[in-house]
């Protein structure tokens, strides 16, 4: 029987186990290592060092301390690709950090082993190590970081999708466009009315003044309503008042 997670048990009516917690956790985070953790670096000779870090494998997690691992003896004639892996072992109920040796071959043909992911074992490959014929030490150039490769390891990321505001944005933009179109229509109707009242020269002059003074972000006009008689502001304001449109004026 499935229960909601998590409630205290009353008379053993809510029984949870470790898998209950794992099933809950894996819904929120992907399998892998956490960003910038557990990097594999050369440590001198046939040793590599794995940095400390936190790993999540299907909801089971473990914190590793910095660890030094020994690379197996090189073949005298052939190349080998070894893999540094984190292994979740459900049989042992444990996580392991180890090196899995690959097969030998020529430099162009040799490949690393495919990580085991069955039978209660799940491996993440942190890095591949090229072991050259007769090598007695590992350099940083021999190490290929595979933490970011989702097929081999992966970086832990949240799985919860962020809210998409595109629909809200599109709706607002459509509303604003309609609003601007409506205000433009009102203005065009007003000016058509002015053209009917005023002669062509006066209407043209008024239009020029409006074009100079109208603000682009609002349908209002700005002019000095206290200007002396004979000025452009005074003439323009008188015309607007005569038409009953003084509410559309912003006094400056």
Which of 115, 145, 175 delimits the end of a domain? 145
The verdict on 141 and 22 lying in the same domain is yes
Q: pLDDT digit string (tens) for 142-167? A: 999 999 999 999 998 876 665 565 66
111 and 186 inside one domain: no
Residue scoring higher pLDDT (150 or 28): 150
92 and 176 part of one domain? no
Whether residue 83 is found in the same domain as residue 126 = yes
Give the residue, 237 or 218, on which the prediction is more confident: 237
Is residue 150 situated within a structural domain? no
Total-model pTM: 0.59
Asked if 114 and 175 sit in the same domain, the reply is: no
Q: Give the DSSP per-residue string, 171-209.
A: HHHHHHHHHHHHHHHHHHHHHHHHHHHS-HHHHHHHHHH
Reported as a single tens digit per residue, the pLDDT across 92-138 is 999 999 999 999 999 999 999 999 999 999 999 999 999 999 999 99
Range of the domain at 212: 166-251
Judge if 96 and 132 occupy the same domain: yes
Measured between alpha carbons, how far is residue 77 from residues 100, 104, 142, 193 in Å? 20, 9, 17, 97
Which of 145, 180, 208 finishes a domain?
145
User: pLDDT per residue over 228-237, tens digit each?
Assistant: 655 555 666 5
134 in a domain, yes or no? yes
């Amino acid at each position: 029987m499935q229960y909601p997670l998590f409630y205290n048990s009353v008379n053993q009516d809510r029984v949870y186990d470790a898998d209950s917690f794992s099933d809950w956790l894996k819904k929120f985070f992907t399998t892998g290592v956490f960003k910038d953790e557990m990097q594999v670096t050369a440590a001198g000779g046939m040793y590599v060092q794995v940095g400390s870090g936190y790993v999540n494998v299907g909801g089971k997690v473990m914190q590793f301390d910095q660890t030094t691992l020994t690379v197996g003896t090189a073949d005298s004639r052939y190349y080998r690709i070894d893999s540094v892996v984190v292994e979740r072992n459900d049989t042992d109920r444990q996580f392991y950090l180890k090196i899995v040796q690959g097969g030998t071959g020529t430099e162009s043909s040799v490949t690393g082993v495919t990580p085991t992911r069955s039978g209660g074992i799940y491996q993440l490959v942190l890095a591949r190590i090229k072991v050259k014929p007769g090598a007695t030490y590992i350099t940083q150039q021999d190490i290929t970081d595979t933490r970011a490769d989702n097929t081999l390891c992966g970086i832990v990321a949240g799985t919860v999708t962020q809210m998409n505001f595109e629909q809200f944005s599109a709706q607002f933009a459509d509303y604003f466009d309609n609003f601007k179109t409506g205000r433009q229509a009102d203005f065009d109707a007003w000016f058509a009315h002015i053209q009917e009242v005023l002669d062509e020269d006066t209407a043209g002059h008024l239009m020029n003044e409006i074009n100079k003074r109208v603000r682009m972000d609002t349908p209002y006009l700005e002019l000095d309503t206290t200007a002396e008689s004979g000025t452009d502001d005074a003439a323009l304001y008188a015309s607007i008042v005569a038409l009953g449109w003084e509410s559309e004026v912003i006094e400056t």
